[in-house]
Amino acid sequence: MKDILKGKAYVIGDSIDTDQIIPAAHLVFSMTIPEERKQYGRYALSGLPDGTQGLPKGDIPFTAADEFESEFTIIIAGSNFGCGSSREHAPFALMVAGAEAVVAESYARIFYRNAVDGGFLIPFESRDRLIDVIRTGDLLMIDSKSGLLTNETTGKDYLLNPLGDIADILRAGNVFEYARQAGLMP
């Protein structure tokens, strides 16, 4: 886990579910075969509907047509991000697309745990409704140690909730590597 994250924001709405993050039709690809794995990046957030709860204004896709990685590395979401099924493919797809963090008001617990346990991305929780003040394409910087998100486009700062114990898991790479380093498993 990096202490400082910098990247472009991708702003979406409330209750973005796992079928919107990676539609079930795209779960046919192997997560381990490199040529198939990259398809998860191509289809990340491809299930978002048009409109205020889905695609950002202007219907900007997360990953451009025929690309496997997104230019957006920090997702800004509303409440209940990652609701729906328990598939670990959702945070995995975002990671493969190049997302390093999601900043949401709240998460579905299973998405949050999958993101942390797999070391796929950092799930920050915001104290403010950031989807109302950050725009897709804004340049952001997150200091994961201090919990400060800076919108470099507007010059405004926002406090994030502390990562707490999950920071150690993310720094280790995933929950299994953390358990090995902590001597909890061989």
CA torsion, ordered 57, 8, 49, 43, to nearest 10 deg: 150
| Amino acid code (one letter) for 146 | S
CB neighbours of 164 closer than 8 A, spacing ≥ 6?
none
Closest CA to 104 of 118, 25, 90, 3: 90
pLDDT (tens digit, 9 = 90+) per residue, 22-68? 999 999 999 999 999 999 999 999 998 876 566 677 678 999 999 99
Identify the pLDDT of residue 53: 61
- The whole-angstrom separation of Cα 75 and Cα 13 is 10
Cα separation, 185 vs 31, in Å, equals 25
Residue 157's pLDDT is what?
98
Indicate the pairing of strand 148-151 with strand 101-104. unpaired
Per-residue pLDDT, 71: 97
pLDDT of residue 148: 98
Distance CA 129, CA 106 (A): 10
Identify the domain containing residue 129 by its residue range. 4-181
pLDDT, tens only, 95-134? 999 999 999 999 999 999 999 999 999 999 999 999 999 9
Residues 6+ apart with CB under 8 A from 143: 3, 4, 150
Average pLDDT of span 7-22: 95
Domain at 47, CATH number: 3.20.19.10
Pair of tokens at residue 93: 């797809």
Record the pTM.
Answer: 0.94
CA distance 134 to 48: 19
Q: What is the pLDDT of residue 87?
A: 85
pLDDT tens for 64-104 read: 999 999 999 999 999 999 999 888 999 999 999 999 999 99
Residue 89 lies in a domain: yes
Considering the domain boundaries, does residue 186 fall inside one? no
Domain count within the chain: 1
What are the tens digits of pLDDT across the range 129-153? 999 999 999 999 999 999 999 999 9
Spatial contact of 139 and 8, defined as CB atoms under 8 Å apart = yes
Tokens 């039709």 label which residue? 25
CA 34 to chain centre: 21
